[in-house]
Chain A
Amino acid sequence: MGIKEWLHKKREQKNSSRTINTAVIDDEVGKLWTKCFNCGANLPAKEVEENLHVCTKCGYHFRINAKERIAQVVDLATFEEINADVVSADPLQFKDLKTYKSRQKDAFEKTKLNDSIITGIGKINGEKMAIAVMEFAYMGGSMGSVVGEKITRLIEIAIEKKLPVVIFTSSGGARMQEGIFSLMQMAKTSCAVAKLNKAKLLYITVLTEPTFGGVTASFGTLGDIIIAEQGARMGFAGRRVIEQTIRQKLPADFQTAQYFLKHGQVDMICSRDELKEVIANLVRLHSKNK
């Protein structure tokens, strides 16, 4: 499970002062300087922000939240969010060391979102499309009933309005707190993609840091075109689980975008500044009238 690794990492990060790849924009707000996790350069925060949260020295892509992603890729003032109010019913009344309800509440406080995805209709370099962006800061971007439902509804609207679909994934996998209901979202979203295929509408997935588990094993890799964002890590099982299973040291580049490109699992890698035009161009190349 990808989420396993993520949570393990999170615990480790709490204990270590030097963390890797955890730059979430929210943490940077109000800061004047941003330290690059890759090259160690101290950069003016504003400069990094203006550079799409990419290090101006080494090109390291900081993790960004869903709202920032939308601001970056969707044309100004064209995004209309849909189904923002859908919330999970906590079907198992799940409780581990904390209740699911309290975890949801904490995640809401942190992200001001009702769940780990934002969906809507907007334009990307002038091309109108159905857009979904996952929010990793909300419970590790995990997929429960809300993610499944919002993606399904988005695809249904895309079919009705004959729009292409682009989904930016960022997820540790299925949401354990919804048990079997979260597993079934893999089936539900894949069934929705089947309908989209039948309608012959283009479906692009952009795998961003990190994409694992149930999202990789469902709508995440069902894109007609699969783009990996530079610097993203992805896979089905998490690195730690694999290491424990095969008792071997894994290569340093294991599960990076480069690694999956090399093994034929993604169509291309795009840097953050390329994404917008590549997506729009793909849409144009796949539509008869353009």
Chain B
Amino acid sequence: MSKITQLPFEKPIYDIEDKIEELKMLSNESGIDLTSQIETLTKQAEEFKKNLYNNLKPYERIQIARHAMRPTFLDYVKNITTDWLELHGDRAGTDDRSIIGGIARIDNQPVVLIGTQKGKTTKENLEYNFGMPHPEGYRKALRLFKHAERFDLPIVTIIDTPGAYPGMKAEETGQGVAIAENLLEMAKLKVPIIAVITGEGCSGGALGLAVANKVYMLENAYYTVITPEGCASILWNDAAYADKAAEALRITADFLLEQNIIDGIIKEPLGGAHYDPELTFVNLKNVVVKALSELSQLNEQQLIETRYDKYRAMGALNG
């Protein structure tokens, strides 16, 4: 536990745990029996934890979603698939490392897996560009989507991105049209598409991999039209109001499920995926396996039609 980087709002928990450790040490050194005090405090700590984590504010969830130790796409690949083979490149000059794709088996079913990749260290983050794809990344994904379609393989996408990269080169090579073409082509694909937002699902950069038959979110993931910081700096004239923007934007999984934007929520261990990655892998895998089996019942036309109908119905209108 102590190796996990604590988040500001978690401080009270760590304080109580430190206190418990102190008492234990004191008890050992002095020989005074403090068992009952330790027990009471431990119980209090558990209660406090449950209460805290079950009532997280949106901006606290965001901090969990962005936690440096949160499992990444390649962690999921390693732990929920077998026979993984990475397939590189957009066939037009680039292998964008912030979107990784390949082929593997999930529960024996071959699938094409594509995800945004973040690093856990600075060095890794530089390689993966902090999970912010360039147009070439979306085009690599599109090439792999078409590969999946040609061989009748279901597609699973794993999304954790603060957004598509805002850069000069990205504009020149068509960041907008690269995302747009993925939206268009995903609408046409004849194979099942399952998208899972595991951390940050920010804006068009996330949606460019998320037009799917089934969309799931991890419990502490968030899915939004703009980062709360970006929204706050525009509407509150100050990025420091990100917590307010996070509430106003309604970015949490429970609201999105209620509004039929997503199809299900994947449970995380108490405190977030990084406290028990193994359990997170199992939970995610179970949901994906179930979705794969459900979607295998639909023929090509049904897959396209139900996907279309799902997005056709989205919007909040009067009249």
Residue from the list B177, B245, B308 in contact with A195, Cβ < 8 A: B308
Judge if A21 is at the interface, Cβ distance under 8 Å. Answer: no
Contact B176 A235, beta carbon cutoff 8 Å: yes
Q: How far is the CA of A1 from the CA of B227 in the complex (A)?
A: 10
* Also in contact, A178 and B316, with CB within 8 A (given A96-B235, A183-B204, A237-B171): yes
Residues on the B chain within 8 Å of A152, using CB = 312
Judge if B55 is at the interface, Cβ distance under 8 Å. Answer: no
Identity of the chain A residue whose Cβ is nearest the Cβ of B314 in the assembled complex: A184
Q: How far is the CA of A8 from the CA of B177 in the complex (A)?
A: 24
Contact A187 B314, beta carbon cutoff 8 Å: yes
Contact A191 B187, beta carbon cutoff 8 Å: yes
A-B contact pairs, 6 of them (CB 8 A): A8-B234, A85-B319, A92-B248, A148-B315, A197-B184, A264-B174
- Chain B residues engaging chain A, CB cutoff 8 angstroms: 164-168, 170-177, 179-181, 183-185, 187-188, 203-204, 207-208, 210-211, 223-226, 230-231, 233-237, 244-245, 248-251, 256, 259, 261, 307-308, 311-312, 314-319
Residues on the A chain within 8 Å of B184, using CB = 190-191, 193-194, 197, 222
Q: How far is the CA of A85 from the CA of B176 in the complex (A)?
A: 30
Type the 1/0 row for A117-131, where 1 means its CB is closer than 8 Å to any CB of B.
000000000000000
Residue from the list B210, B261, B318 in contact with A89, Cβ < 8 A: B318
B179, chain A: closest CB distance, angstroms: 4
Contact A86 B314, beta carbon cutoff 8 Å: no
Contact A191 B312, beta carbon cutoff 8 Å: yes
Identity of the chain A residue whose Cβ is nearest the Cβ of B309 in the assembled complex: A191
Q: How far is the CA of A221 from the CA of B204 in the complex (A)?
A: 14
Which residues of chain A (177-204) have a CB below 8 Å from chain B?
Answer: 178-188, 190-195, 197-198
Q: How far is the CA of A139 from the CA of B209 in the complex (A)?
A: 28
Contact A97 B168, beta carbon cutoff 8 Å: no
The count of chain A contact residues (Cβ–Cβ below 8 Å) is: 69
Q: What is the count of residue pairs linking A and B with beta-carbon distances less than 8 angstroms?
A: 210
Residues on the A chain within 8 Å of B177, using CB = 216-217, 221-222, 265
Residues on the A chain within 8 Å of B230, using CB = 1, 4
Contact B207 A187, beta carbon cutoff 8 Å: yes
Residues on the B chain within 8 Å of A192, using CB = 312
Judge if A214 is at the interface, Cβ distance under 8 Å. Answer: yes
Q: How far is the CA of A217 from the CA of B135 in the complex (A)?
A: 11
Identity of the chain B residue whose Cβ is nearest the Cβ of A234 in the assembled complex: B176
Residues on the B chain within 8 Å of A235, using CB = 171, 175-176
Identity of the chain A residue whose Cβ is nearest the Cβ of B308 in the assembled complex: A191
Contact B225 A91, beta carbon cutoff 8 Å: no
Residue from the list B244, B259, B319 in contact with A91, Cβ < 8 A: B259
Which residues of chain A (214-254) have a CB below 8 Å from chain B?
Answer: 214, 216-222, 235-238, 241-242, 245-246, 248, 250, 254
Judge if A3 is at the interface, Cβ distance under 8 Å. Answer: yes
Which of B234, B251, B308 has the most A CB atoms < 10 Å from its CB? B234
Judge if A176 is at the interface, Cβ distance under 8 Å. Answer: yes
Contact A219 B225, beta carbon cutoff 8 Å: no
Identity of the chain A residue whose Cβ is nearest the Cβ of B206 in the assembled complex: A183
Identity of the chain A residue whose Cβ is nearest the Cβ of B222 in the assembled complex: A180
Contact A236 B259, beta carbon cutoff 8 Å: no
In the A-B complex, the 5 residue pairs with the closest CB atoms: A237-B166, A216-B176, A91-B316, A190-B183, A145-B315
Judge if A149 is at the interface, Cβ distance under 8 Å. Answer: yes
Contact A194 B166, beta carbon cutoff 8 Å: no
Contact A92 B176, beta carbon cutoff 8 Å: no
